[in-house]
Amino acid sequence: MAEPPVLLRVEGLRCGHGEAVVLSDVSFTLQAGRSLALLGRNGTGKTTLLDTLVGVTRRFEGRIELAGTALHELPAHRRAAAGIGWVPQERNIFKSLTVSENLSAVARPGPWTERRVYELFPRLAERQRNLGTQLSGGEQQMLAFGRALVLNPRLLLLDEPLEGLAPLIVTELLAAIARVAREEGLSSIVVEQHPQLVLGVTDDAVVLDRGGIAYRADCAALRADPSPLDTWLGVSAH
């Protein structure tokens, strides 16, 4: 069977904020239909890497290609149209709009529609006329996820989507990530502090350390033998 084509290619990426370089030499590829867990201790540049893919940080050197398009040459506001869906830590929903208006305001043609988001997150269907300010933190995270999906992206970026949420909501969001990545085949990169949460719903893992990629592995292999996580993160997958 032929290998899936490369969707995302990052080569020699050096990036950061202002004059500060956070990541000095990052290169990796992500195949179409694959999902990647982006791991690392606090301050290793996980969010900076996603922000650079989106175009909201400073890129000093390197290339970023999405399906052959030179993403690094595009301004941030054109990267969604190029195929990037982003769920930032801040969620960035329109709090003065209803759930339904949040989704319809950004929707682009494709398989993911407002109706399908409600099927994925029944809580949002029940609250589709509620304003963003009337949602719990978990519901706001679901809405941010849904907003990224209705962009119908080629690549979904999730920056610590489970942070600070109740266990029940975490379970619902993990199921949604698994469905989108595994059943729907939407390529995804998930930043997470707790590897044991995401290794079961992603295909590959990358650990950032000291400004670059320190370790790469298959998620199933890491779940079977989590000792490398003790080495790089000081945590176990169990």
Q: What is the gyration radius of the CA atoms in the chain, in angstroms?
A: 17
Contact 97, 50 (CB under 8 A): no
pLDDT tens digits for 1-27? 678 899 999 999 999 999 999 999 999
**What percent of the chain is modeled with pLDDT above 90?**
88
H-helix or E-strand spanning residue 189: strand 187-191
The predicted-structure confidence for 26-53, as pLDDT tens digits, reads as follows 999 999 999 999 999 999 999 999 999 9
Give the contacts of 122 (CB within 8 A, at least 6 positions apart).
none
**Mean pLDDT score, 102-116:** 96
| Residue 207 pLDDT | 94
DSSP 130: S
Q: How do residues 147-170 score in pLDDT, each as one tens digit?
A: 999 999 999 999 999 999 999 999
Confidence of residue 236 (pLDDT cuts 50, 70, 90): low
pLDDT value of position 31: 96
The pLDDT tens digits for 124-155 are 999 999 999 999 999 999 999 999 999 999 99
Pair 181, 202: CB distance under 8 Å: yes
Q: How many CB atoms lie within 10 A of CB 192?
A: 24
Q: What pLDDT sits at residue 235? A: 62
What pLDDT, on a 0 to 100 scale, did the predictor assign at position 216? Answer: 95
What's the confidence (pLDDT) of residue 201?
94
CB contact at 8 A, 229 and 195: yes
Q: Which pLDDT does position 196 carry in this prediction? A: 87
pLDDT tens-digit map of 63-96: 999 999 999 999 998 999 999 999 999 999 999 9
Contact yes or no for 22/208 (Cβ under 8 A): no
User: Mean pLDDT over residues 221-234, rounded?
Assistant: 88
Q: In the block, which residue shows the tokens 């020699």?
A: 12
The answer to whether the CB of 130 falls within 8 A of the CB of 136 is no
Give residue 229's pLDDT: 87
Residue 226 CB: number of other CB atoms within 10 A? 18
Residue 3's pLDDT is what? 82
What is the pLDDT at residue 182? Answer: 87
Q: Above 70 in pLDDT, residue 237?
A: no
Number of neighbours of residue 79 by Cβ within 10 angstroms: 23
Q: Is the pLDDT of residue 234 over 80?
A: no
Q: At CB < 8 A and 24+ separation, what contacts does 132-139 make?
A: 132/93, 132/94, 132/95, 132/96, 132/97, 132/98, 132/99, 132/102, 133/95, 133/96, 135/99, 137/164, 137/165, 138/165, 138/166, 138/169, 138/172, 138/173
Spatial contact of 39 and 208, defined as CB atoms under 8 Å apart: yes
Q: Could you give the domains of the chain?
A: 6-83+153-231 (3.40.50.300), 87-144 (no CATH)
